[in-house]
Homo-oligomer: A and B are copies of this chain.
Amino acid sequence: MSSRPVATSGPVLIVGSGLLGASLGLALRGAGVDVYLHDTSPTALRLAQDIGAGVPLSDITDPSPSLVVVAAPPDVADLCILDALRTFPSAIVTDVASVKSAVVDGVLTTLATAQQEGFAARYVGSHPMAGRESSGAGAADADLFYGRPWVVVAHEHSAPQAVLAVRMLAGDVGAVPVEMDARTHDDSVALVSHVPQLVSSLLAARLAEARSESLGLAGQGVRDTTRIAASDPRLWTAILAGNAGPVVEVLEPLRADLDDLLAHLKAAAQRGPLRGGSVGAVNKVMEAGNRGVSRLPGKHGGAPRRYALLEVLIPDKPGELGRLFTELGEIGINIEDLSLEHSAGQAVGLARIMVDPGRLNEAEKELERRGWRLITNAV
């Protein structure tokens, strides 16, 4: 990143030195931008300083940041934003809280009451779609934002140059700025972030009192579905309190599906034997799940899937995979996505390659001509 020109002119003050704040500090400093840090917890501040995320604001004489980024929990974000707007009258101010309507409304309402509406032009909300189940500066990573969407949420009074400054900040740390209004943002994160978090926690809660014998049978499926259940309860309680309405709108139809499923499973349990009757409700939920997961965007952000699947058997010899890629390049086929099903100890692996559907036939024909063995997918 240091080789790219940096658009953000510092210094940048980051308020809150947890995972997001410290990661942002690392990324900006890596790009050559001066970073000041502030945190109400001296311990958290010291840890962020120690890992190189920035210098404490209190060490700076007469600080004058051009940009303030509030990386505090959502239930205090509006207070921190207001404080920054008042303390640094020439700074642009943004925040990275996971909920936006509640924060933006909190800021604008308070400014109106205080007859400080003019300050609102310098505030633009934002939310980088980055995180992990670990929290705190100890888990910080300069690449945390790299390639991730960074939602920029302007309100009706935001100045164009303030929006531009936040877009540039996102770009400087490798993220992709995406503009959205607060309500669309909140509905979207309820769906793709907040409800998955709650569902993962509800599921993991079932394991809390389980027998060790049962837990010993756990495989990758339950591990993946419960991974984010390790997330910080305090932070998530604040996030969900701030976005309760949109979360309820996603959870209610989920509960309706669950009720339907339970009714049918109870009936099946009473009938007993394996072929006692249909469990159409299970099939319905499984098929809806298939459709849903297939819509998660692939490499280029485009849902639904735009690529065709090419499956090639790979002899387990050094260099065979490299040869396949080289030959695909010669044929002029771009690899949009791939995974490898590798059978260690066996003489063959399977490469699953996503390609432009318009080029699939040609790719298959050319590869077969060159001696590759393909799996033909019956439709």
- Contact (A301, B204) CB under 8 Å given A139-B378, A340-B339: no
Counting CB contacts under 8 A, is A120 at the interface?
no
With both beta carbons as reference points, the residue of chain B lying nearest to A249 in the complex is identified as: B269
- Chain A 247-262 interface mask (CB, 8 Å, partner B; 1/0): 1101111110111011
User: What distance in Å separates the Cβ of A106 from its nearest Cβ neighbour in chain B?
Assistant: 6
| Contact of A214 with B192 in the complex, beta carbons under 8 Å | yes
Q: Interface 1/0s, chain A 124-158, versus B by CB < 8 A?
A: 00000111101000111111001111010000000
Residue from the list B143, B191, B343 in contact with A141, Cβ < 8 A = B343
Note all chain B residues with C-beta closer than 8 A to A306.
Answer: 344
Candidates B27, B217, B226; contact of A289 at CB < 8 Å: B226
Q: Are B220 and A248 in contact (CB under 8 A)?
A: no
Chain A positions 4-53 with a Cβ under 8 Å from a chain B Cβ: 26-27, 30, 43, 47, 50-52
Q: How far is the CB of A177 from chain B (nearest CB, A)?
A: 10
A134 cross-chain contacts in B, Cβ below 8 A: 341
List B contacts of A247 (CB < 8 A): 265
CB proximity to B under 8 Å, residues A181-211? 184, 187-189, 191-193, 195-208, 210-211
Q: A273-B102, A289-B205 are in contact. Are A244 and B265 (CB under 8 A)?
A: yes
Q: Are A282 and B313 in contact (CB under 8 A)?
A: no
User: Across the interface, do A218 and B147 meet the contact criterion of CB distance under 8 Å?
Assistant: no
